[in-house]
Amino acid sequence: MATLRDIKKRIKAVHNTQKITKAMKMVSASKLRKVQNRMLDLRPYADKMQEVLIRLAKGADRESHPLLAFRARKTVEVVVITSDRGLCGAFNTNILKAAQKCINDYKKEGFEVSISTVGKKARDYFRRRGVPVRNSRIGISGNIRFQNAEEIANDVKENYINETIDEVIVVYNAFKSMATQTVTVAKLLPLAPIEEGKEGSAPESATVDFIYEPSMEAIFDRLIPRNVDIQIYRALLESSAAEEAARMSAMENATKSCNEMVGKLTLQYNKARQSSITGELMDIVGGVEALKG
């Protein structure tokens, strides 16, 4: 049976853990506010840019730009975005499960799968399973800059143009709310046309011949590569915001668990102390009776 000293040590250890979880929650809250503002500012721009380019591409020749070209799929690139650190609940687990399912589905269809990772958790996950990773980047989580997105995008664009890969899929956690992060599997390349009749699509009358100024080639050369940069940048910001929200939730739950554990240990300590006092009283009473005899 645990002694009073052992129980007091455990209570002190749990209190120390509780201080750490509270501090981590406050740090995550501060980081979340910063990255959330950047993410919310970028969202409308990224959405509108993607929408405009898809509509332009719908009425254009697919061979007018190498990043628009459709070709027979042989190799599919899956870009998996996770965090560098843990202690964020099921954040990384959900991403890796979705990525593994996506990879398995493509392999069942007979495609070769190339994998790029962002974050230590994704890199280590595939490394432990002996799965080759074409490109890996770490140290981005928590310190995202547009330059990071450009580096990832340039690598993807170069391999797509060189026909090393024929399709690019990005798997990441999208931020929905403080309590909800949604695993998102998004097609990055090639740009997919909006299908008529689907919710959110434009009516058929919206399909028109556009007047390009200065020229279609100049517009596509400038905007399509930039759109890839923007969409990857958005995925990184969404993932970062979702990570901090998940860590806040995990640390809050950990703090509550510490409170419950302290309550149980305190009750155990009081019972043990009461039992010890009762035993000492019984010894005293026994000694008194022996003296009387």
Whether 102 is a known active-site residue: answer: no
* Residues forming a β-bridge with 76: 113, 167
Q: Of 88, 96, 232, 235, which residue is the catalytic one?
A: 88
Percentage helix, strand, coil, to 5, in the chain?
Answer: 60, 10, 25
The whole-angstrom separation of Cα 253 and Cα 247 is 10
The whole-angstrom separation of Cα 82 and Cα 18 is 26
Chain centroid to CA 239: 4
The whole-angstrom separation of Cα 51 and Cα 231 is 12
Residues in the chain: 293
Residue 38 neighbours by CB under 8 Å, 6+ apart: 237
| Residues recognised as catalytic | 88
